[in-house]
Amino acid sequence: MHRLLLRGASSEATRNEFTTPTMDSVFTNVGLEGHHTALEGRRHKVTIVGVGGVGMACAYSLLNKGIVGELVLADVQQERLQGEVLDLQHAGLFLPCRVRASGLDYEETRNSDICIITAGARQNVRICV
């Protein structure tokens, strides 16, 4: 797994303010100095599970950074997934990246360099008056 560090987290002391022991045991640092260099140099296969607002924000950000060679989107909502993939494929005419939909067939996600999971149940917020 890869860990993208927060901008401005240039020292170990600063980084520790944003991490917990659980985070440190789950994630592996890609480096503090020049943290983008671990991702540069080749195009990566990236899978994003969940095509809601957060998942699509991640997708657009990664595509704009130019580090993605292949982007696979997965979600249980087939109609929304197809719509988002079509939008990205149309934009892909201007980007050097291949975008595919996986749907429920996670075979497409095999050999991904980076997997981002943004799927989750929508939270109901109750406001007490």
d(CA 14, CA 18): 7
Residue with tokens 């939008």: 87
123 within some domain: no
CATH of the domain at 58: 3.40.50.720
Domain residue limits at 19:
1-38
Does 110 lie in the same domain as 54?
yes
Does 17 lie in the same domain as 48?
no
Does 113 lie in the same domain as 53?
yes
Average pLDDT over residues 101-123: 83
Mean pLDDT of the chain: 73
Give 41-97 pLDDT, tens digit per residue. 667 889 999 999 999 999 988 888 878 888 899 998 889 999 998 888 887 777 777
Strands 98-101 and 114-117: unpaired
Does 58 lie in the same domain as 15?
no
Q: Which residues contact 86 (CB under 8 A, 6 or more apart)?
A: none
**Terminal-residue alpha carbon distance, the chain:** 44
Does 64 lie in the same domain as 31?
no
Give 1-35 pLDDT, tens digit per residue. 344 444 444 444 444 555 555 555 555 555 444 54
d(CA 97, CA 91): 10
Provide the 3-class DSSP secondary structure of residue 29: strand
Does 46 lie in the same domain as 29?
no
